[in-house]
Amino acid sequence: MSRSRLRLLIAILIVGVSVFYLGWQDPGQKPKNADNKPAHPQADYFIKQSHSKDFSSDGFKTQSLTSEFIEHLPAKQRLELLKPEIHFFELGKLTNSVNSNQGEIPDQSKQIEFIGNVIIRDHQQPEKQQTINTEVLTVFTEKKLAKTASKVTISDQSGRTTGVGMQADFNVNTVELQSQVKGLHYVN
C-alpha cells in the first residue's frame, strides 16, 4: 500500500469516527456554551452572578447590588436584572435591603425598578423582623429613597398594616403610606 493511500485511509477513518461519535451524542443534551448567551437576542452584553459595591469617601461600604443575571438591551435603553437585591449600609453596617423577581435600570439613571414580589427588610432592628411587600418599587439609589403607587403590606411581629402608595426614606428609616391605610396590631 502506498503512502498516499495510507494517508487517505487514515483521513477517512478519522472522519468516520468523528461522524459516528457525533451521531451517538444525546440530542437532548444542552451544548456546553448555551449558558453563555443572553436571554434576549437584542442584548449587546450580559453578566452572570453580578456583584457591585459602592463606598463612601472614608472607605465605608454604602450599598451593594447583586443579581443572578443582567443583560443590556440597547433598543430599550436599559439593563434587565434577574433576582436583583440591593443592600444599604450606614457606617459599614447593613441597614436595609430590597429584593424582587426582576428589575430594570434605565440607561444613564440612578434608579432601579424592582418588579414582582418586592420585599424590603429592615436590618436595624432584627428582633422585629419587619418587612414591606409590594409588586413594583422604584429605588433612587443615590438618595436612598423608594416609592410605589402599588398596594403595600408592612408586617412585623406586632401586626400588619396595608395601604396604597408609599414613600420610604432609608436615610432616616421612615415609611409613609399614602392612601387606604388599614392596620391590625396585636396587644402584648
For residue 116, what is the domain's CATH number?
2.60.450.10
Give the number of domains in the chain.
1
User: Is residue 101, in this structure, part of any structural domain at all?
Assistant: yes
User: Is residue 146, in this structure, part of any structural domain at all?
Assistant: yes
C-alpha 143/C-alpha 72 separation (Å) is 24
What are the 10-residue block averages of pLDDT along the chain, 188 residues in total? 61 61 55 54 81 89 92 87 93 91 91 94 84 94 93 90 93 90 82
User: Is residue 90, in this structure, part of any structural domain at all?
Assistant: yes
Q: Give the closest residue to 55 by CA, choosing from 100, 14, 88, 12.
A: 88
State the pLDDT at residue 185: 82
DSSP notation for the chain: --HHHHHHHHHHHHHHHHHHHHHHS-TTSPPTTGGGS-SSTT-SEEEEEEEEEEE-TTS-EEEEEEEEEEEEETTTTEEEEES-EEEEEETTEEEEEEE-SEEEEETT-SEEEEEEEEEEEE-SSTTT--EEEEEEEEEETTTTEEEEEEEEEEEETTEEEEEEEEEEETTTTEEEEEEEEEEEE---
User: Is residue 9, in this structure, part of any structural domain at all?
Assistant: no
State the pLDDT at residue 33: 47
Residues in a beta bridge with 23: none
User: Is residue 14, in this structure, part of any structural domain at all?
Assistant: no
State the pLDDT at residue 114: 96
Amino acid occupying residue 2: S
User: What does each C-alpha distance from 103 to 78, 99, 136 come to in angstroms?
Assistant: 10, 9, 9
**Number of residues assigned to the chain:** 188
The whole domain housing 161 covers 32-185
